[in-house]
Amino acid sequence: MTTVYVAFGANLGDPKRTYDRAAREIARRLDLPSLRPSRLFETVPAGGPADQPPYINGCFSFETIHSAEEILTGLQEVEATLGRVRGEHWAARTIDLDLLLVGDQLIATPALIVPHPRMHFRRFALDPLADLNPDVVIPTLRQTAGELLERAIAPEATLVLVSHDERTLEVAENLAASSRPGWRVFDIAPGRKTGTPYPDSLSSTTWQETTLAEWGAEPHRTWVLWAEEDVPRCEEGSGISLPTIDGRQNPLGMLEAFFASLQPPRPVD
């Protein structure tokens, strides 16, 4: 049996009722003897069209013998049953089910990436997940949901940009100043004299104990935003696996979504 975690989100219709219906439908379609729901949280939309209503987010946990692909198919069937219509990216929706974790499995196919590649900085995913199990480990980062949540709520932290673009640095500094005044922003810009040289691995103990120490930054309070196609990503290393935000396709949009995703959710009664 494998422990699975599924994120829920909705901001159209009656999200609380949809949450209850989704729990029943998932259990029925996957033939589950039991399913644990988290508390619900109200969150501000992170990205997508303007003027959306707030989201209601939660998380389900269950044990199953089904494969990740079978679970994904079941979740998509539940979404269709409960009125999901796929349209504009990050637009308002009646239901959204995301497969966050399937045990300690690492999956990367055109149809599915597990662990979910953006769950580590999204409070609307982290808070419900940590509500269910703060000790569950995200295998790509070798950190628990509770540890990642502590990083997300930290009043003082460091954001490292891997970018040649000075505009990206300017936007990051402005967003940090307005929403996270205790945060500092540094850039690693290969080929630009003002940037810090890029290390072989951002997870290397040597880099973390030298460059981060010089900045007065702690690995457990550091994020990395990747905005360069020509810089190789080195995930493995002997130090802390630093949470990375992939902003290569749209660095400015991802910066805005990142800071919006850090806004604290409100527990729903």
Burial class (CB in 10 A: 0-12, 13-18, 19+), 89: exposed
Catalytically annotated residue among 84, 122, 123, 151: 84
Across the strands, what pairs with 107?
114
Q: In what order do the strands lie in the sheet with 222-226?
A: 184-188, 158-162, 222-226, 244-246
Whether 135 is catalytic is no
* DSSP strands (E only) in 115-195: 137-138, 143-144, 158-162, 184-188
Catalytically annotated residue among 29, 96, 180, 246: 96
Prior bond to 115 cis, omega within 30? yes
Angstrom distance (rounded) from CA 198 to CA 204? 12
Here the tokens at position 72 are 């994904």
Rounded (to 5) percent helix, strand, coil in the chain? 35, 20, 45
Whether 266 is catalytic is no
Whether 200 is catalytic is no
Whether 167 is catalytic is no
Across the strands, what pairs with 101?
5
Angstrom distance (rounded) from CA 238 to CA 220? 14
Among candidates 12, 161, 34, which has minimal Cα distance to 95? 12
Q: Residues with catalytic annotation?
A: 84, 93, 96, 98
